[in-house]
Structure 1
Amino acid sequence: MTNLEESLQREILRTNKAGAYHCTTIVDCNTRKYHGLLVIPIPNLDDENHVMLSSLDETVIQHGAEFNLGLHKYQGNHFSPNGHKYIREFDCERIPATTYRVGGVVLRKEKIFVHHESRILIRYTLLEAHSATTLRFRPFLAFRGVREYTHENNQVNREYQLVENGIKTCMYPGYPELFMQLNKKNEFHFQPDWYRGIEYPKEQERGYDFNEDLYVPGYFEVNIKKGESIVFSAGTSETSTHRLKQAFDQEVNDRTPRDSFYHCLKNSAHQFHYQQGDDHYIIAGYPWFKCRARDMFISLPGLTLALDEVDQFEDVMNTAEKAIRSFMNKDAIGYKIREMDHPDVLLWAVWALQQYAKETSREQCRTRYGDLLKEIIEFIRQRKHENLFLHENGLLYANGAERAITWMNSTIDGRPVIPRTGYIVEINALWYNALKFIADLVREEEDIVLADALDAQAELTGKSFVEVFRNEYGYLLDYVDGNMMDWSIRPNMIFTVAFDYSPLDRTQKKQVLDIVTKELLTPKGLRTLSPKNGGYNPNYVGSQQQRDYAYHQGTAWPWLMGFYMEAYLRIYRISGLSFVERQLIGLEDELTIHCIGSLPELFDGNPPFRGRGAVSFAMNVAEVLRILKLLSKYY
């Protein structure tokens, strides 16, 4: 904790399942513009999250001596005040808890983010003290979007009103009021000031602007006795201060301890849920992603069914189903799901429902989602999708030359870095799998005519798939567009081995699996490109443009490992279990490094395989959980 090179790399994330979050480093020093104690969506302003309360500096006062426990980075690699030097212990098994020792004073600080409410609670307990002790709290306010910075200005509203045991204030029009209260009588000293030149090293690393000024309206002072606990609350509504202790305890009891690989991932899975009124979404990742259609369908089975939370799957699918129907009917989509029009999205939705059928029963899936599945397959067969063309050979063609349309979606100046276009391997693997799955499902309800039609379509698709994608070296081309064939060894071919229905025979599947194992497998996921390729670019570092070039040109992604391990178990069955378990160990190590208890977006493709990108990524967490569930079925 006292070695900043180590501690500033480790981050903590907590969300309220309603779009708001708290994120910072384990020493409470913000290193990103996205960091903050209270970061919330403000729908009436825009579609972004906003940092309301950036941080809270605590000062311990004894015999007139002041010890500031805060930590900020300023220009010239200067850190002040150096509160991390007083840290003796940090624990986040249930909630983040930091223990400070200042001379004879031992103070514990615990943070909890309230579920379904924009409120953070911080509890301070004085464990040891030999004389009268006072705590001072100095709030740093930002009131800005997560992609912006605030700087000293004259427009800020400095007014505040007293509320029960605290104050409320609002820096700018359009923002909600911020209520800061304690569970005990205290004094607020109005002392408005700007703290200038605070720096965010993670933004500097990423080639962005990286400094801002934060506004401090004043400070709270409160006396605390040995053994006493004081709770600080920051939220967008007033709270009853005499209930703060009780509210804190209730929230703690509601948390699953992060005491195992599985429990860490389970906690992380719950953080991606975003409920707004009757709508239920999955956030693609933190701290900057929104709900994206493809990510939602790929991660949904792992985030819900793998945790035996079938009702949560159905809840999210209720919202998704309305959005799918709006899209197919060409209505305006009134749902916060992005990229619904991408050509593989409907096919991933079918795959998600297929996992539901396996986890519940085919009958339950048919009863609940049979009509939707038939509508999706007919929508594609009747060529109603604007960028998904069913050709005479049974394969689906999509135009991706001008616009990124698959999960490999990095762009520079609006143009795809990897223009995957034409017959795209995973889209056609998904298509074959969907045709066979829905054919089997409708045959069971004795819709023989449709079942036969889909089977006939699948037979044509399967034959063409092998002819078009399989090359003489035994692996699959990534995409084919007329005479243009992409021979790059990429991970997208692994889906053809992993899915329940595949046009490949066992020998062909094994050849694909072997080449993926040999050239793409790392301890952290599958590489997006073979190191033997001249365009291999494994390190996701540098400016936005440098990172965009590297994004899918050699970086490793854990979610692909889920499908790889599923494919491995399909080929090797029970004899493959120990290999799969060994692979998971490489990911278990990661839970203590980047964002504590979660998995980051991607990793460098070369050793030491550093975690990069978003600190917590839904598809990665989901796919590891799905594989853990799959493994449990073998025992």
Structure 2
Amino acid sequence: MIDIHFGPQVCTDPTSGATREWLVPDGVGGYAMGTVSGLRTRRYHGLLVVAGDRPAARRVGLVSLDPAVLLPSGARVRLGAHEWASGAVDPPGFELLEHFALVDGVPRWRWRIGDVVIERELAMLPGRSCVAVVHRLVSGGPVRLELAAACTWRDAHGERRADGPAPRVEPVAGGAVVEGAYRLAGPNWVPEGQWWLGVHHREEAARGLSSTEDLWYAGRFSGALDRPGDTVSVLAWAAPLEFEPMPATEVIEVARRRNRQVVAQARPADDVEATLALAADAFVVRTGESAADVVAGYPWFGTWSRDTMISYEGLFLRTNRADLGRELLRSYAATLSEGMLANTADTGRVEHNTVDATLWFLHAVNRHVTVTGDTDLAAELLPALRGVVDAHRAGTRYGIAVDPADGLLTQGTPETALTWMDARVYGVPVTPRTGKPVEVNALWANGLAGLAELTESTGGDAEELRRLHAQAVASFRKRYPAPGGWLHDVVDAPAPAYPLGGAAYHDDDSLRPNQLLAWSLPYAPLEPDEPTLRRIAAALLTPLGPRSLTAEAPEFTGRHRGGPAERDCAYHQGTVWPWLLGPYVSACRRAGMPVDEVFMGIESHLSEYGLGSVSETADGLPPHAATGCPFQAWSVAELLRVRRPGR
């Protein structure tokens, strides 16, 4: 894997050290997450963040274990770090950090206090909400180490304050149980019980959200570090509380060994691909006895079928996890209703509210069968997939239907946002794309051809599917070319306003990256077109991927910043989306264009924001600072899919 490490100039800087974030997932939707400096900048940061009945229903438990070193002189040196509502950073323990590294996916910090060097490593037990934090004396000593446990138990999207009841902390052998929800275990537990008031989260403030909370100082652990190699360790785990975890040092080794196995299974070609393979693993989760699922992004997303299906090839086929992927595809097929794939249950209820997730599902199934030769799965799912086509031809929810006049798919109502560009502000779509979006119909044509191939591979008759595909492709080639030398983003879109007797519909020629799918998909409706792709690249391409809108457009917004409404307004109006680098590279390769140089910026990004991973979004204007989720499934998956050609 690539070498991700930082020295004191980054670690001790409260800006640069606090903008690089690490993630340790537990494999069931929860995680530990924080920054290189140790400063908590998000409400989502913590050492034990537990997934509920669905990955998005997470709760923050153990927030931090703040180390303090008692030197032989009697001096007490605090190594923790918190920012407060007053603006103060106290203690500034990062000032004593000399090194941070990710070693096989396990974060490691080193503090130096003169000749005393203390190292911390942190890992989660794979498949369980259990975190191990190990402190080891590297040099110097003897010293004594104290670890102050700052706790809460709250929804990951909110805060808990001292004006409500204090967390219930019950003593048990070797530690305590907090709120009956999670257990702390370590040496020499001493209960305390005190509110720490006004902890500040600078990233939440920057996002226009509530940015302060109060933490409960539940107690402290302590132990002697007499000679190099001695350790003081703490474990924290969520229910079932009767679970008896292995020693913390073993949890670290189990996690590290598993991470190496994940990378080896992917058979990476180089260190970058190895890093991406481990990054991909973070998004693949199991909850209970269910099939595998995909977390769309950390720290705030849960499962979204659109993201899952776009990510499928990169997360499962490029990492040699087809057996696990097969389970997922079968599980998702069971959510089909009226020809539509369920989109998400993040809101607490299952929603069928996209036009493209189902089409990406058709694509994922076809890619799975093409790569693996699994015609048994094709035969099993074919009735459901044919049902998708039948439902779309007959018409389904939200005006989604095949237009019999041209065989293209139309969709939408004024109040809905059904494509991946689905941002709404105060209930109003920011990028209304009602009509026939270009990527939707590229996916429709691709899906028809792929389904015809699956049908024929199992001995079925695909004549009608071939006819539908031919009609859709002929109409696509006729309707989508725009006068500017690229493709319309939407055709047959309702005109926002038109004079009496004027046209009720128009074609939107906004220069957006959605058209890339018209050349990138396996059964793309258009032949390779180097001049058009060069025009698109000149207008949209950045080091982290294509912008969502050309900077020449009057609606272009170059910074993805501010409060929720401001960010949502910018989300698809110029913001960069790294996942779109996948379609861009695939389209260019089909056109015979060189693309190897486009990876340099995004590969450098692997050590700039979410360490070892790829962000959700970035600013449309230089320096293209990363925004959104630091760890995003489809961003990682699409880079992994296209980075090595011919796979």
TM-score (norm 2): 0.90
Q: Which residue of 2 aligns with 1:72?
A: 82
- Contact 2:13–2:37 under 8 Å retained in 1: no
CA distance change for structure 1 residues 442 and 396 in 2, over 3 Å: closer, same or farther? same
- Structure 1 residues 319-330: aligned runs within 5 Å: 319-324=331-336, 326=337, 328=339
Q: Distance in 2 between matches of 1:489 and 1:329?
A: 29
**1:122 paired residue number:** 133
Residue 434 of structure 2 corresponds to residue 424 of structure 1: no
Equivalent residue for 2:71, pick from 62, 65, 68: 62
Q: Report if aligned partners of 1:293, 1:337 keep a CA contact under 8 Å in 2.
A: no
- The answer (yes or no) to whether the contact 2:340–2:388 under 8 Å persists in 1 is no
From 273, 279, 282, the counterpart of 1:262: 273
User: 1:490 corresponds to which residue?
Assistant: 512
Alpha carbons of 1:414 and 1:156: their partners in 2 closer, same or farther (altered >3 Å)? same
Kept in 2, the 8 Å contact 1:493–1:512? The answer is no
Q: Does residue 1:548 correspond to 2:568, yes or no?
A: yes
Among 452, 473, 476, the alignment partner of 1:465 is 476
Number of the residue aligned with 2:171: 161
Correspondent of 1:476 among 487, 499, 504: 487
Q: Measured at CA, do residues 501 and 248 of structure 1 come closer, stay the same or move farther in structure 2, by a change above 3 Å? A: closer
Q: Which residue does the alignment assign to 2:407?
A: 394
Q: Report deviation, 1:17.
A: 1.3
Q: Which runs of 5 or more structure 1 residues have no equivalent in the other structure?
A: 171-175
Question: Counterparts in 2 of 1:248-259, with a 5 A limit?
Answer: 248-256=252-260
**Matching residue within 524, 532, 547 for 2:544:** 524
**Contact in 1 for aligned 2:17/2:37 (Cα 8 Å):** yes
Q: What residue is the counterpart of 2:231 in the other structure?
A: 229
* Contact 2:343-2:352 at 8 Å conserved across structures: no
1:58–1:82: structure 2 CA closer, same or farther, 3 Å change rule? same
AA aligned opposite 2:454: L
Aligned CA distance change for structure 1 residues 566 and 154 (closer, same or farther; 3 Å):
closer
Structure-2 separation of matches of 1:134 and 1:264: 37
Determine if contact 2:378/2:454 at 8 Å carries over to the other structure. yes
With over 3 angstroms needed to count, the CA separation of the structure-2 counterparts of 1:503 and 1:190, relative to structure 1, is closer
Between 526-535 and 225-234, the greater mean CA deviation after superposition: 225-234
- Deviation per residue, 1:231-259 (Å, 9 max, x gap): 21011225547744333322222223999
SS at match of 1:276: coil
CA distance in 1, matches of 2:246, 2:548: 54
Q: Which residue identity does 1:510 align to in structure 2? A: E
Aligned-residue offset at 1:388: 1.2
The alpha-carbon distance between structure 1 residues 622 and 339, as it changes in their structure 2 partners (threshold 3 A), is farther
Structure 2 letter corresponding to 1:609: H
Contact 1:293 1:340 in 2 (8 A): no
Pick closer, same or farther for the CA change 1:569–1:596 going to 2, 3 Å.
same
Q: 2:497 aligns to what?
A: none
C-alpha deviation, 1:475, in angstroms: 1.6
More deviation, 412-421/509-518: 509-518
CA apart distance, 1:65: 1.5
SS in 2 for 1:366: helix
Contact 1:197/1:213 (<8 A) preserved = yes
In structure 2, distance between residues paired with 1:330 and 1:563: 22
Structure 2 distance, partners of 1:565, 1:598, is 19
Asked if the contact 1:190/1:218 (under 8 Å) is kept, the reply is yes
Match of 2:456 in 1: 443
Contact kept? 1:72, 1:80, Cα under 8 Å: yes
Q: State the match for 1:296 in structure 2.
A: 308
- What is the CA-CA distance between 1:373 and the residue it aligns to? 2.5
1:178 matched to 2:188:
no
Conserved in 2, the CA contact under 8 Å of 1:343 and 1:387? no
State yes or no: 1:99 paired with 2:114. Answer: no
Query: TM-score, normalising length from structure 1?
Result: 0.91
Corresponding residue of 2:97: 87
Task: Check conservation: 2:119, 2:137, Cα contact below 8 A.
Answer: yes
Number of residue pairs the alignment of both structures matches: 611
Which residues of 2 match residues 401-416 of structure 1 at below 5 A?
401-416=414-429
Matching residue of 1:24? 34
| Deviation of the 1:441 alpha carbon | 2.9
Q: How does 1:266-281 map to 2 (within 5 A)?
A: 266-279=277-290, 280-281=292-293
Query: What does residue 135 of structure 1 align with?
Result: 145
Describe the superposition over 1:21-79 as per-residue Cα deviations: whole angstroms up to 9, x where unpaired: 111111221100111111112339x9621110111101111232111110000134311
In 2: Cα distance, 1:327 partner to 1:139 partner? 51
Deviation per CA, 1:182-218: give whole Å up to 9, x if none.
2xxx322222111111100001111111111101122
Q: CA RMSD in A?
A: 2.4
**Residue 149 of structure 1: which of 138, 159, 165 is its match?**
159
Amino acid at match of 2:82: H
CA distance in 2, matches of 1:340, 1:623: 24
User: Of residues 595, 608, 619 in structure 2, which corresponds to 1:604?
Assistant: 619
Residue 332 of structure 1: how far off its partner (Å): 13
Q: Deviations over 1:566-603 (max 9, x none)?
A: 0100010xxx3xx3221111111001110110111111
TM superposition shift of 1:328: 4.0
Asked if the contact 2:345/2:351 (under 8 Å) is kept, the reply is: no
Between the aligned partners of 2:340 and 2:640, the Cα distance in structure 1 is 34
Q: Give unmatched runs, 5+ long, in structure 2.
A: 1-10, 264-269, 494-503
Shift of 1:494: 0.7
User: 1:465, CA displacement in angstroms?
Assistant: 1.6
Counterpart of 1:624, as a letter, is: L
Q: Confirm or deny: 8 A CA contact 2:306 2:343 kept in the other structure.
A: no
Pairwise CA distance, 1:154:
5.3
Distance verdict in 2 for CA 1:571–1:61, change over 3 Å: same
Aligned to 2:206: 205
**Structure 2 residue 251 is the aligned partner of structure 1 residue 247:** yes
Deviation at 1:365, TM superposition (A): 5.2
**Cα deviation, residue 345, structure 1:** 1.6
